Amino acid sequence: MKFALIAWVQFVVGLLILGAADYYVRWRDGWLEDGGMPTPEIVWFGVPSLLGLVAMLLLWRSTVGMKRRWQRVIVVASQAVIGLVLYGAACLWYVIATGVDSR
């Protein structure tokens, strides 16, 4: 259970730090609500992918008490899908609520 909590905390906090850093850089350079800065795709897709991979490894570790491997796979995969939906919702919220790249 401890590893599952650590996995979710590192994933959510990592997304928050990524969004805050991007917003700060855009705000400081005056690129809000225009074409936006040329953020490398590796930042917006690579960092969350790495966070998700680490979270999945921690989730796998948290299911060590389950006897059957298929149960572990289902638990980790279902939480990975929840994380993917959370990431998509966070991206949409960030773009719509802050007005980044809205012109």
Residue 34, CA distances (Å) to 19, 23, 38, 60, 92 in order: 17, 13, 12, 42, 17
pLDDT value, residue 32:
65
Domain count, the chain: 1
45: in domain: yes
pLDDT at 58 over 90: yes
The pTM assigned to this predicted structure is: 0.82
36: in domain: yes
Q: Residue 14 is part of which domain span?
A: 2-98
**Average model confidence (pLDDT) across the chain:** 86
The residue behind tokens 């680490």 is 54
103: in domain: no
58: in domain: yes
pLDDT value, residue 45:
83
pLDDT band, very low/low/confident/very high, at 37 (cuts 50, 70, 90):
low
48: in domain: yes
44: in domain: yes
How far apart CA 63 and CA 3 sit, in angstroms, is 9
pLDDT in tens, 60-74: 999 998 889 999 999
Share of residues in the chain with pLDDT > 70 (%): 89
